[in-house]
Structure 1
Amino acid sequence: MSSPTPTDLLGEIYSQWIDEITKHPDMSLRLLRIIFDDWQRATAEPEDVSYRHTSIGGVPGILVTPLESDPLQVQILMHGGGFALGSSASHRKLAGHLAKACGTVSFVADFRLAPEHKFPAQIEDGVSIYRALLEQGYRPEDITPVGDSAGGNLAISLTMELGALGLPLPGQVITMSPWLNMHNDGVTIETNDATDFLIAREGLLANIDRYIDGATEPTNPRANPLYADFTGFPRLYICAADTESLFDDSVRLNRRALDAGVDVTFSIGHGMQHVYPFLAGRHPRADEEIQLIAEWYRASRTAEGRQGAPELVDTTSSSTFQN
């Protein structure tokens, strides 16, 4: 039986990546990182959004500022890429669409990557960003950890870490196709293998080894949120495609959150690909998901007006991206 044909640009990009990786099985991690920065090609350039290279809490990244956004509300975007790939460059446009729809700014973090930096360096970087925002005057309820794929894991894990450290929790957490299961035994890894053009068990295992091998066990709740206690966790948004290999992770996350009494919303992209909001500006279902997230986010906001926005400092260089 022939393999399915990609039906959207994201599927085409994923297929191209896998073709090249298959042809060159000894491809270096450095080259893989260059390839994964191509992720941004799936996303249309959002209008009226500016970008600036900076750092927060000692962590470099890109500050994303939509026109007329509320500078008092900030998203911390932890990018996907298996803890070893991806960057602020690959995710800045996705962050732009999401921040613009929500009316916030966003900081896309270039947290330390595995295997050069094993677990829990990535979580520690997220906590450093959050601490710095609190110190600069941001209210916890105005800070939103956001993450896709492995970044979804990090968005949850850093929030759990904040609670363990006795810090106030953010008002909400947003995840897109989160990758949580470090056991690598989710049922949809097999059942959705033919419809997912990126994720395969072998690739997941390689990134698990890069992230936690020699550092911790796959049952550690800090590395695998499916083992975490979600009691008291903030409002949680999950979106995932029912045809992606990691769909089971989102199903199990939704169940665990609900069982713990969390206010959780689970949105399913039928027939879409892994992290389908990457198609923002190019696909109606991706645009719809961005709007659904924004509506969910705004529903938690109060009408309280505040003056005197704190400044996102720790600045290095700055630049603006062009189409």
Structure 2
Amino acid sequence: MPHLPLSLVAAAVGPFYRVALHGSLPVPVARRIIDTASALQTLPRDTVVRPLTLAGRPAERITVGATVRRTAVLYLHGGGYTLGSPATHRSVAAHLARETGAVVYVLDYRLAPENPYPAALDDAVAGYLQLLTEFGFTADRVAIAGDSAGGGLALATARRLIDRHGVTPAALALIAPWVDPGRRDAPFERDLVLNTAWSHRTADAYLGGGDPTDPGFAPLLGDLSGLPCTIVHVGTGEILYPQVVELVDGLRAAGVAVDCTEYPHLWHVAHLQASLLREADDAVREIGAFLRTA
């Protein structure tokens, strides 16, 4: 499919997310809407998608082309910890597989409100460790990537792997990571994709009865030292922009090597539209180049 003009894709994305992420929409309905729309995001040529089980959860193994895979990426999807699946992120994961030459594993971690924190974190940590113990990879060859809630989860996963298991992932790729879900000081109520009513509801669902300052829930509030090299992408017009900037500053202050790209014209996780939008495809290419080097 040829790429479309940015203005045209933005004109479609905004109304879609106003419906799908409406604060009063029942979670099962929102899940169906998001999953159904994901079919519009196509896969690169020669993509191979294989279902499997990882950490006792459904997952997908995605590769592009026929080369031998010696590296891997554990991809943790966004969706406010209540939405999203391998289906919604299959296209962006496949584009990342194309750019990295790695096998990308997309984990269908447990979602809230049925399974609040720390279910998603437990699944992500177990999934990463299984790639090491049963899939033949070593930690220096396995990165973690994620977007939005999945970006926050990727950061929390790396922290727990280091602290509890003595395992440091090869790299982190964080796309507009939601690193402090309990925060209520957004600069405005809505961007093209997100709105605070929905974000607050999903944060509360994920937290359950927990402590909003728990660094497993809000990794921005935890120790940022000792993390692997990290790439961060964020749009300057996003609700999450201030906390992502705070994260990047905190990582650098902690001595972590960080590449950060800010996008004045792209919306929250526009990378999902890599099959439709050249600018989004270029952003995924930049992440892929970073991970190849790491």
Identify the match of residue 101 of structure 2 among 96, 100, 103: 103
Change (3 A) 1:39 1:148: farther
Change (3 A) 1:20 1:156: closer
- Structure 2 gap segments, 5+ residues each: 1-5
| 1:210 counterpart residue number | 205
Change (3 A) 1:73 1:101: same
CA distance in 2, matches of 1:251, 1:39: 30
Structure 2 length normalisation: TM-score?
Answer: 0.92
User: Is the 2:79–2:150 Cα contact (8 Å) retained in structure 1?
Assistant: yes
SS in 2 for 1:86: coil
| 2:148 counterpart residue number | 149
Structure 1 segment 135-284 matched on structure 2, within 5 A: 135-136=133-134, 137-190=136-189, 193=190, 196-214=191-209, 216-284=210-278
Name the aligned partner's letter for residue 287 of structure 2.
I
Name the aligned partner's letter for residue 210 of structure 1.
A
CA distance in 2, matches of 1:220, 1:20: 29
User: Is the 2:21–2:195 Cα contact (8 Å) retained in structure 1?
Assistant: no
Structure 1 segment 77-156 matched on structure 2, within 5 A: 77-136=75-134, 137-156=136-155
User: Is the 2:139–2:168 Cα contact (8 Å) retained in structure 1?
Assistant: yes
1:278 Cα deviation from its structure 2 partner = 1.1
Change (3 A) 1:206 1:26: closer
Name the aligned partner's letter for residue 204 of structure 1.
S
User: Is the 1:78–1:151 Cα contact (8 Å) retained in structure 2?
Assistant: yes
Change (3 A) 1:278 1:26: closer
Change (3 A) 1:21 1:207: closer
1:238 Cα deviation from its structure 2 partner = 0.5
Larger Rg: 1
Structure 1 length normalisation: TM-score?
Answer: 0.84
1:165 Cα deviation from its structure 2 partner = 1.1
- Structure 1 gap segments, 5+ residues each: 1-5, 301-323
Deviations 1:183-209 (A, max 9, x none): 33344345xx3xx22211111110011
CA distance in 2, matches of 1:227, 1:35: 33
| 1:315 counterpart residue number | none
CA distance in 1, matches of 2:113, 2:206: 6
1:42 Cα deviation from its structure 2 partner = 5.6
User: Is the 1:63–1:107 Cα contact (8 Å) retained in structure 2?
Assistant: yes
Deviations 1:139-185 (A, max 9, x none): 10111111000000110101111112133111101111111122333
| 1:303 counterpart residue number | none
CA distance in 2, matches of 1:100, 1:212: 35
Moved over 4 A (4+): none
CA distance in 2, matches of 1:189, 1:41: 31
What is the total number of aligned residue pairs between the two structures?
288
CA distance in 1, matches of 2:178, 2:37: 17
Change (3 A) 1:279 1:21: closer
CA distance in 2, matches of 1:164, 1:20: 37
SS in 2 for 1:188: coil
CA distance in 1, matches of 2:25, 2:141: 42
CA distance in 1, matches of 2:30, 2:224: 34
| 1:48 counterpart residue number | 46
User: Is the 1:10–1:278 Cα contact (8 Å) retained in structure 2?
Assistant: no
1:38 Cα deviation from its structure 2 partner = 4.0
1:235 Cα deviation from its structure 2 partner = 0.6
Identity of paired residues, percent? 28
Name the aligned partner's letter for residue 206 of structure 2.
Y
1:28 Cα deviation from its structure 2 partner = 2.3
CA distance in 2, matches of 1:44, 1:135: 32
| 1:31 counterpart residue number | 29
